Structure 1
């Protein structure tokens, strides 16, 4: 919201300085975002007179001027403006001055052999508009040598404030002035408009065909007018706040939008088809050519203002071009309506239309202001354009907006944290426009003013201005009770100054702060760090891709198709992050980087339910392992992926002894070079392996590629046990090797599990260190060699005890797998 200081003073009687005003605005919740002082940039420019203007001797389009800047000294100026002539007065810039419109600092120079000691300025060069057709032409009585800023009244700072979504009343200069007056920074000037006596019947009638489109509307015509440029003061005001002056009729509606927060619209009566303007919902296939030059396809949820030919305006959002006013307009019809704030917001968002009218209607406007605002607009149009007014045309009725709210004085300290005297609190509310209905020592009941739609009260939901009964009923369903008292507490405290509230620390619930991350978040962060430590680059990819690629990695149910994809090839939720990483690896390979190690913490989508999205730590390695002096390069294999998966599980506290590996990996893995890591027979913690050659070929990956997935949601929470001192034996461990002859189909994991369980009190670790298959063994047999670590606890083991444990290990493995000890 922008306004000038002089504009504010039209509503606020105050002697406060600019600094006092801006400081108070921020203190009462209307945060100042910036102050633009145009006088500072234009301070050096002054009024000068052209004494002589002759043709430049060496250029057809230039003129050589002699200019008097007010000190009697004539300056030589070369000027290309076609309107430069002897005797005229304009604006002069001297060397060293910064020219805002061009961004240059003026220097003395010579143009085509003629000295140029200064510059005569156009409006655009001063940053005061778009006119660059010639230099500024001032009236003959403009005082020679005076500062142009003072002469033109440009020493008027522009203030910009941030307005919170609930404060529709603060989107008006008068609303801002009211808040400042309530804060003790002056007195709010009275405002009103005398009714205009009608000279003829209204040429257009209103009809509300659907109350969803509008609840109440007023209108009045003015005929015999001449629509031309607005007076300079009005153009200057609008230009200062960033609006482009268009014509007197349009500028008047913009003036009231900002001055009173009351959007208006004007129709050209001659362009309206029929004698009735109808408030209704848009029809199927209906379009609107708006004043901004765009065409909008309307929906049945859009409220429109229509004539006999169709929609003429998107109610409360933007007007239509066919019935707009221009320089040929001789009779206009002023529309002043009350719209549903929610419907305005939805329509504006649906069509991406951002207008000053929408910003105010969607926050709620003052319903009681409508009749007097129409009278004021009528008077202003007649004053600027001439003509005479018709009778007022009306449809609908003023909504029952009146409501009350109560404030218990003790709540100012209990809820707001500030001790405020009862008389001071009541005085603040009265200065804000609240009327006292009842008061005692403990509380006060006030009538809420019509412009404060954000203050809830008794009947507020069912009587809210502009809100349709249907939307009011829906709002009431979600509200068990309305608490207007908190709104009144806020009003009192902010007008006193938000900076006067003493800061109070929140009570400390515990001397030890609670964890900032949930267990799920902490595990995800830990998994990401582990993979980064293993040399993998963390990636962030889309959770969707094209359906043809997704089908290579799992099922693609119709329920996981994206209804409105951001691109045609991103129409399916991915079954696994592995596919996204492989596609990234393929892009790297195409650019000369075939060996990559990529990881991602992301989602895998299997269904639409709560359990259908899995949190997965996934990784991909392609090409060869890095070359270094310690080891030769080699192609990545399934064991690299297995090592990554197990590293994540180990970091998450999963006991490795409880895991088993099966060979039933998903179909996008190589069937003979992949596995599934399980905890128990049912719980799948991870998958790993080489990527299936067919899948790699489909993704244009030429070299070896391996991948893994760790399903973080399936990883059990580590048991929280009280930590005790570790049992560190004083005795040295000893190791024994066993080589078993087993069937080729027996998994090494089965041998390790059997050996580990043979004597749990004594066996500290079991590891596989060799697998041999060859012609020295019987057909269908392999040799698995394991190392068993024995850890004595109380005394050094004797040979007999060692032999006893060895016998138990051989017996356990033989029983579990049918193996025999290899000779």
Structure 2
């Protein structure tokens, strides 16, 4: 919805600036989207006088003009055919931006066919004032030289564009906007009165309504002796300012009233009507509309007809057969009310969009039928002349909204505002309501405010006009008793794990909990119970058994678009059956094995990269990673020999990681090796609480020794079947007090190591607490490390 500041001031007596108007609208709940002031883009242009206009010596179509401007007398070369001496023009100085041409003049004079030119004389199209481009603007002679162009042409009139919410169709009229602004104290409402016109003859036009559900009421009046032609300049300027094209006086009047009072009207040329006007349902009838399109009206549509057929779609668009033109001398004014739902359905089906449809589908003021006719009558007679008949009303105007029984104490209860009864009554009456004050108020709702139907609506109106910004910030009262944390242990843990994975360079994804059945089968989800009866898509017909499915597909889509190194993770549910216990929370991630270019060198992505991701995530969730055991990965979609699982005991699987099986990747169309992981956060045991104490979420105190640590390296020969982790755990158990860390730094198979065996090189770190370790103490611990390693099948490499 658009309107100008000058248009608003026809209904609101105020000295407010445009900024004050916008602020008041915003505080009153009208969402302003844009404010455009034509004067701003015309600020560089001014009125100038052409002194002489001589033919260019080297160009037949150019003239060399001397022009008196606010910058002095300038020589301007002009190609407009109407350029002449003693002409008043729009002058653009050097460097000015020409909006209609989208370019700026040079800041220095330039030569055109050898003659220097300083500035430009502009057409209306070049300044986006109008569409005329036959030549430069020929302005009135009485305009003073040097006057800013916007001021001279009365274009310093800002245009406000705001969003109208569906529940406030009255805001589609400027008078209703003025009413709300007057209520907030911005000015005084001065909407002109609509007086009854003098009746000169009886209405000769018969009007009938067959479909009273679709069109409850139709008011009509005939005006004869009108003279149609261009509308007055003030009316054309108002319509142009909001983006409407002036057509003729009669058409422009209907457009003006549509925006001024939110009252769509339609004028019929009486000379083109035949017989009675009839409002009914369509019967597969086609007609040519005023928007230069043809439509076929069915029984779902409301049509206006006469004996010749369809005259238009009621409340949407009129037909060409009875349209007004320059020959029109007698008109029928239509002011009707149409059912909003029927209008909305018809317009959507036919693809029609019009100002009338936009208002009727939201619901126009049922009390404005007669006022609409009277206002149109006044404007037609004032602009086009003529005399009016009486008004014929077919059907019945819908009843007024039901009065509201209102308890004024609701305002304090719902908003905490403490306003006097007089203040609340004034707000409601300023908005058009009427109030009868008793212990329980009776509030009469105006016909244009059918959105207000109960006390809470009136509370909202009072708070809106008083100002939501004036509401005091009041905290909710504290609830009695001890409040438990709202986040569960798993929620807190996974929040930390997501942060840890993000710090390792993985991006979080959110994907579907459904998958294609063929993909689900690759991950063990071939159970019929997982099938979805009514899937949202054919490729999402099964509950997913693994979160890896969509991560793999997303990674491949990224690679197809030129981003092959996507590293993704997701936290979400996976399913193994229909029962509640068959749903688990999974934290899964994938990395594509792609070569990266990096100044610091290329880090190879392997199964151990996925293991590091898992360990970081598990440690962030509080899992005792030092006590985990390494087993084969769970699921045949993992690559044998390049994958494993971490367990707390033989049955409690915390995570699986490693490379995915090439067979699975090929079946899914994944064109790369993939390392991945699946973590089961709910499998991590909850921390134990000490007797009489709650579980502390704080970390244990950091303990650092002042003594230097001691490291010793060992190399063991073990069978291939023995996991390196078993050797590391055995070595660390040699002395848990002094051994602070055991790491594997080399695995070797080849010359010097018999077939079926491997060499594991480990580093053991000893951290003394009280005193420096002697050689004898170090030797004793080393012997115990070797002894413990031998118990798991290792022998010291010679």
Band of TM-score, shorter chain? 0.7 to 0.9
Using a 3 Å threshold, how does the CA distance of structure 1 residues 778 and 59 change in structure 2: closer, same or farther?
closer
Shift, 1:643, TM fit: 4.2
Match of 1:531 among 501, 508, 519: 501
Residue 457 of structure 2 aligns with which residue?
487
Shift, 1:710, TM fit: 2.8
Residue 722 of structure 1 aligns with which residue?
695
Using a 3 Å threshold, how does the CA distance of structure 1 residues 709 and 14 change in structure 2: closer, same or farther?
same
1:84 equivalent in alignment to 2:83: yes
Bigger shift: 269-278 or 364-373? 269-278
Contact kept in structure 1, 2:203 and 2:221, CA below 8 Å? no
Q: Deviations over 1:78-120 (max 9, x none)?
A: 3222233455544445567665544536865543344545543
Q: Secondary structure at the match of 1:426?
A: helix
Shift, 1:132, TM fit: 1.9
Residue 622 of structure 1 aligns with which residue?
593
Shift, 1:259, TM fit: 0.7
Q: Secondary structure at the match of 2:210?
A: strand
Residue 131 of structure 2 aligns with which residue?
130
Q: Deviations over 1:601-656 (max 9, x none)?
A: 26577699998796643222415799999xx9897554543443343233223455
Q: Deviations over 1:183-210 (max 9, x none)?
A: 442243442142574655336644327x
Contact kept in structure 2, 1:586 and 1:699, CA below 8 Å? no
Using a 3 Å threshold, how does the CA distance of structure 1 residues 651 and 367 change in structure 2: closer, same or farther?
same
Residue 63 of structure 1 aligns with which residue?
63
1:691 equivalent in alignment to 2:660: yes
Contact kept in structure 1, 2:381 and 2:387, CA below 8 Å? yes
TM-score computed with the length of structure 1 as normaliser: 0.70
Residue 12 of structure 2 aligns with which residue?
12
Bigger shift: 617-626 or 545-554? 545-554
Q: 1: distance between equivalents of 2:602 and 2:147?
A: 83
Bigger shift: 775-784 or 422-431? 775-784
Q: Deviations over 1:341-364 (max 9, x none)?
A: 567667778888775545544554
1:402 equivalent in alignment to 2:401: yes
Q: 1: distance between equivalents of 2:472 and 2:376?
A: 47
Q: 2: distance between equivalents of 1:76 and 1:628?
A: 63
Q: Deviations over 1:305-363 (max 9, x none)?
A: 476999987765x5367668474784766554445556766777888877554554455
Residue 444 of structure 2 aligns with which residue?
447
Shift, 1:61, TM fit: 2.1
1:238 equivalent in alignment to 2:208: no
RMSD: 6.2
Using a 3 Å threshold, how does the CA distance of structure 1 residues 627 and 9 change in structure 2: closer, same or farther?
closer
Shift, 1:5, TM fit: 2.9
Q: 1: distance between equivalents of 2:78 and 2:599?
A: 73
Contact kept in structure 2, 1:207 and 1:276, CA below 8 Å? no
Contact kept in structure 1, 2:574 and 2:585, CA below 8 Å? yes
Shift, 1:373, TM fit: 0.9
Alignment of 1:428-447 (within 5 A): 428-437=427-436, 439-440=437-438, 444-447=441-444
Using a 3 Å threshold, how does the CA distance of structure 1 residues 637 and 222 change in structure 2: closer, same or farther?
same
Bigger shift: 399-408 or 236-245? 399-408
Q: 1: distance between equivalents of 2:352 and 2:269?
A: 23
Using a 3 Å threshold, how does the CA distance of structure 1 residues 747 and 225 change in structure 2: closer, same or farther?
farther
Residue 104 of structure 1 aligns with which residue?
104
Q: 2: distance between equivalents of 1:155 and 1:48?
A: 19
Using a 3 Å threshold, how does the CA distance of structure 1 residues 678 and 401 change in structure 2: closer, same or farther?
farther
Using a 3 Å threshold, how does the CA distance of structure 1 residues 349 and 602 change in structure 2: closer, same or farther?
farther
Alignment of 1:77-476 (within 5 A): 77-86=76-85, 88-93=87-92, 99-102=98-101, 104=104, 108-117=109-118, 119-138=120-139, 148-161=149-162, 163-184=164-185, 185-195=187-197, 197=199, 200-202=203-205, 205-208=208-211, 211=213, 213-219=214-220, 228-265=229-266, 278=279, 280=281, 304-305=302-303, 318-319=316-317, 325=323, 327=325, 330=328, 334-341=333-340, 356-357=355-356, 360-361=359-360, 363-381=362-380, 383-385=382-384, 396-437=395-436, 439-440=437-438, 444-457=441-454
Residue 481 of structure 1 aligns with which residue?
none
Q: 2: distance between equivalents of 1:143 and 1:199?
A: 52
Q: 2: distance between equivalents of 1:412 and 1:123?
A: 54
Q: 1: distance between equivalents of 2:24 and 2:562?
A: 62
Q: Secondary structure at the match of 2:569?
A: strand
TM-score computed with the length of structure 2 as normaliser: 0.72
Shift, 1:161, TM fit: 4.8
Q: 2: distance between equivalents of 1:62 and 1:574?
A: 76
Shift, 1:221, TM fit: 6.3
Shift, 1:767, TM fit: 11
Contact kept in structure 1, 2:225 and 2:387, CA below 8 Å? yes
Using a 3 Å threshold, how does the CA distance of structure 1 residues 681 and 56 change in structure 2: closer, same or farther?
same
Using a 3 Å threshold, how does the CA distance of structure 1 residues 488 and 87 change in structure 2: closer, same or farther?
same
Q: 2: distance between equivalents of 1:69 and 1:780?
A: 100
Shift, 1:75, TM fit: 5.6
Shift, 1:699, TM fit: 6.2
Contact kept in structure 1, 2:231 and 2:252, CA below 8 Å? yes
Contact kept in structure 1, 2:219 and 2:392, CA below 8 Å? yes
Residue 675 of structure 2 aligns with which residue?
706
Q: 2: distance between equivalents of 1:203 and 1:225?
A: 21
Q: 2: distance between equivalents of 1:202 and 1:585?
A: 72
Q: Deviations over 1:439-467 (max 9, x none)?
A: 24x6643212222233223xxxxxxxxxx
Shift, 1:771, TM fit: 11
1:641 equivalent in alignment to 2:610: yes
Q: Which sections of structure 2, spanning at least 5 residues, go unmatched?
A: 768-776
